[in-house]
Every structure is written in C-alpha cells, then in structure tokens.
Structure 1
Amino acid sequence: MSRRLRIEEQRARQLKDEMQEEDDKIKLQQERIFGPVIWRRFQNGIKIQDLQKILFSDVINLILECYLKEDILFRNTKIVEDEVSQKSFAERVLFKMHDRASIVAIDEANENRVVGVLILTPVQKCDWGRVYSRTMIVEGKSYTSITNFLNYINRKVDIFEQYQCDTYLRYYLLCIRPEYRGKGLGYQCMLVGLDVARHLKIPISMGIFNNFKMQKIARKIGIDQILYEYSYVKWSDKNGELKFCDPGPGNYTCNIQAGFVPPPPEPDPVPVTKKATKEKVTRADKRKAKAKKKATS
C-alpha cells in the first residue's frame, strides 16, 4: 500500500470518528431535551417523573390489573367481566395520556418498575362542549354505565364559570400498586399534580373523586371546595335497583372538588453558621502571660 493511500485511509477514519462523535453529542442533547422531567426522587428508590410514550403500555397494564378491580364505579359495574368495556376504557386512557401532562412513579431499585400513575388532563374553555370531548366512542355495557354516571355528575358544574378561568387541570385517575400503598406515594403524586399545573400555568385544579380517601387527599392539597356532591344510593337503573350497591365503608358520595393552584412552597432557609469569635485579650492578660512564661523559663 502506498504512503498516499495510507494517509487517505487515515483521514477517512478520522472523519468517520469525528462524525460519530458529533452524532453522539446530538443524541445526548435530544435525550436531555425530550427526556422526562424528574419531579420527585425519594430515598426508597422511587422517583416521580413525566409519563413518556415508552411507558404507555406498562401504565395501561397497571390500570387494567389494579384499578378496575378496586375503583368503586368499575368494581360495581363488573367491568372485569366485560372485555369490550375494558378495551374501550383503555383506549380512552391512552387518548388522555397523549396530553403529555400525566406523571408516573417508578421504582428504580426494582428494574424501573412502574408502580403508580396519575393521569392529568388540561381542559380548555375553547374546546369545552365541542365534538373534541366526545371523539372517543364508548363501547361495552359496563363502561357505558360508568360514563353515563360521570357525564351526569360533570354536567352539574361549570368550572370555567365558577372560577372565571379559561383552563383547568383535571385529576382523571390515580392508581398505585397495592404493595406500594400506605407510604404516602399517592399523596406525593397528587402534590406533583400541582407542580404540573404551575408548570403549565394553569390556575385551577379539579377532579371527580369517588371515594373518601381521594376526597380527603384532595382537600389536603388545596382541591378543597366541594362544588357538587352526589349520593350513591340515589343512582339506580330503570327497575329501581342500585347500580353502586357496594361503595365500601365510608364511601357515600361522589364529589366534584376544585381549588386554586397554590404558589410553590418557599424553599427551606439556608442555615446560618455562627462564626467562631476570638476572645478579646487585654494588655493585663498579655503582661500576666509574659510574666508566667518568664518565670517558668
């Protein structure tokens, strides 16, 4: 091989390496730009971050596995026995997740397992009442029954009129894996929902909360105004039979609650370290020390 050919090959390899390095830099920048925002990170290895598209499938599986069996509305309508309703509901949740406002809890210490999700939906006044809010076709007997009830509740209050706002953030669904409950993770997710609202510059948050625990958490974080309250014993079919005959202990009503998004909490004050003050030495003390030193020498 000639010397000139070796030089050309060396230049080609160098150019290839430079291009690869540039591609790596661009890829890293894209990951930083489109990567998830980490809202909270806890000492037990769990973090709360933005819900990315790559996790949509895991979130749907979590909801179908846990939420449908325990939520009052879904449990009482026996949706676990209605595959058509499950599919229709999963499509609705997937549609909501594309708003890119939802958050997810991940256990980093357990192979980044999805352990919780909070579906959040920004609702704008300009879209309210349009076909936009009804683009998803509801199928299945169970899910149709649920949506009829929720639509009846939702029509009782006009959030835009009540708070004189153009946009509000709706808490649509909260689901935590059973083995991760009792540790305040649901409460932390609800708090992060307020951070999302502040980030999106949305002044009002609201939700249709159908059990006492969720109603209590909502009041605790500032979604404390009950705009409408509906008792489960009033909702019956054409034959007069209760549709939600087993809401569970303490769960008597389904509430629409809302509130102003509070300003972010002030950071903890920086601890002030006291500087060590030198003890003032008088001339008399200096003379005594000098005399003592002279006597010992």
Structure 2
Amino acid sequence: MAKWTRPKAVPFPNVWRKCRGWRETEDGKIHKFSIEDVPQDMHEDIIEFLTEFHFHPTYGSELMKNVKMYEDPTAIKQYQEKWRKALKDNISLVAFLEEEGQGDKRLIVGVNVLKVDYKDHPENFEKIESKKVRSIGQNLAYAGFLVNVYEIYGVDKLVNALGLCVHPKFRGQGLGLQITKCRFEIMKAVDLKCTLTVFVGTGTQRIALKSGFEVIAEVPSDSYKDEDGSLMYPGLECKSWIAMVKIVE
C-alpha cells in the first residue's frame, strides 16, 4: 500500500493544546505549556532531548534504565535513526514551556515520537545491528500483536509510539497525560483511526489508562528470557508489558 502522508489541508506545524501544570514546581511556579507538532527544523533538537533524558541512568524510562541503554553507543545511534525516520511522518508532538520574556529560544519539556505502521509492511528486526535494540523491538512486537489489531479493528495502518518523555524538572505536572491526549486530537485531524502502543513503565501505563486507552494484551516481564534461560529484564519495576489500543472516531 502507498505510504501515508499528512493531509495538506491540516495546518503544519499546528498548536494542539495549551495547558498549565497541576502544581508548583521547585521554583515555586505553576508553569504553562504549549503542545505542538514537531517543526521540521527541530528534529535534531528532539533527538538530542530524547538522547539526554530517555536514556538517562537516573531519569530515563524504566526499560531503558533496566537494559543500561546509556552504556551502548551503537544502540543509542540506532534509536536515533529510528526517531529520525519516525519524525518524517509529521505527527510527533513536542511540549514547550511558555514563559514571558524567554525570547526566541523555546525550552522543550516533553516529547512523544509517533509514527505510522502498516499492516502489509511489518518491521524487519533482523536488519537491526544492535542485539539490545533488536530484542526490545521483537518483544514489543510480540506483546503488541498477540491480538491481531489490524483484523479486529478493520484498519490497514495505525499510529505507534517510539517514546514518551517529559523533562525531569516538569514531571508530576500532568504533562505526559496532556501530550497523550493530544495524540488522539492529531489522529482525528489527519484521519488516522487506530493507535496501538505497548507501554513498558508503571507511569506510562497509568497515563495511557487515564487518557482512554484500552488493554488488549499483557505479557509478564519475567516471561522474556535469553537463550540460556536467564531473564532479559531482571529487576524491571514494571511487571508486565501492556498492549493498549485507542480508536479515534
């Protein structure tokens, strides 16, 4: 099937939502945020943000910390290439801090990289050089397609995600939830009906459920094992990899 492209009738880049933090941050302020399309001239800024915070040994995602992604330059490079490719679909979201007097420099405080996947073109993980990245991809795909989402919901493409990340200083403000809800807004605007994501993190799983995702499959984290029988993700706080779907009408 032909590759999906964003309809020209939908403004780009677009502002999807303005919101405020739930509570004061350490500086005593309640901040304002703007959630927007990722501008094409900011792709490398987005990748730099994700590289710093998504893989961080303290602030990174549960899964990336568990596999010590920050110690693997080859794996990081391959994730960066995956992000570059996904950003070209022009449906990814960025949250900016809105402050008076901040000038032209806009501070990125949150990112959700989104991409379009196709029924007839599943990802070929065997081509991925890094064993760590290849295994994660295969395990996400296993959890995501225990249920045949394409057949059940009658779609030939869907929106998937390659990371939801909020700046550590602005966590606990409801920003992750706001960004996730914006996914549905952009999908409706560009006429994409189905989104599927496997959430591997207690925080992101809570956000997904609050935003309206529904659970379709669940795989215990300790069921993933290496060839020698050892656990792939020992000590992972998240006990299950949960596949969730949302249909946007």
Where in structure 1 do 4 or more consecutive aligned residues deviate above 3 Å? 133-137
1:36 aligns with 2:16: no
- Paired residue for 1:67, among 45, 49, 54? 54
Conserved in 1, the CA contact under 8 Å of 2:54 and 2:61? yes
Q: Percent identity?
A: 25
Q: How much does 1:136 deviate? A: 9.5
TM-score normalized by the length of structure 1: 0.69
Aligned residues: 223
The 5 A counterparts of 1:1-297 are: 36-42=13-19, 44-69=31-56, 70-109=60-99, 110=102, 111-125=105-119, 127-129=120-122, 133-134=123-124, 137-224=127-214, 226-248=215-237, 251-261=238-248
CA RMSD of aligned residues (A): 2.1
Q: Distance in 1 between matches of 2:44 and 2:75?
A: 18
Q: CA separation of 1:124/1:200 partners in 2, compared to 1, >3 Å: closer, same or farther? A: farther
**5+ unaligned residues in a row in structure 2: which ranges?**
1-9, 21-30
**5+ unaligned residues in a row in structure 1: which ranges?**
1-32, 263-297
The residue number in structure 2 matching 1:26 is: none
State the secondary structure of the residue aligned to 1:139: coil
Compare the two structures and name the one with the higher strand fraction.
2
TM-score normalized by the length of structure 2: 0.82
The residue number in structure 2 matching 1:278 is: none
Q: CA separation of 1:171/1:82 partners in 2, compared to 1, >3 Å: closer, same or farther? A: closer
1:146 maps to amino acid: I
Conserved in 2, the CA contact under 8 Å of 1:122 and 1:170? yes
Q: How much does 1:86 deviate? A: 0.6
TM-superposition CA deviations, 1:60-106 (whole Å, max 9, x none): 11111111132233222222111011101110111111110111011
Conserved in 2, the CA contact under 8 Å of 1:92 and 1:136? no
Q: Distance in 2 between matches of 1:142 and 1:95?
A: 19
The one of the two structures with greater contact order (alpha-carbon pairs below 8 A, sep at least 6) is: 2
Q: Which of these two proteins has the greater Rg computed from alpha carbons?
A: 1
Q: CA separation of 1:259/1:35 partners in 2, compared to 1, >3 Å: closer, same or farther? A: closer
Q: Distance in 1 between matches of 2:236 and 2:44?
A: 29
Q: How much does 1:35 deviate? A: 5.0
Q: How much does 1:148 deviate? A: 2.9
Conserved in 2, the CA contact under 8 Å of 1:88 and 1:137? no
TM-superposition CA deviations, 1:245-276 (whole Å, max 9, x none): 1212xx210011112225xxxxxxxxxxxxxx
Q: Distance in 1 between matches of 2:12 and 2:91?
A: 14
Q: CA separation of 1:183/1:256 partners in 2, compared to 1, >3 Å: closer, same or farther? A: same
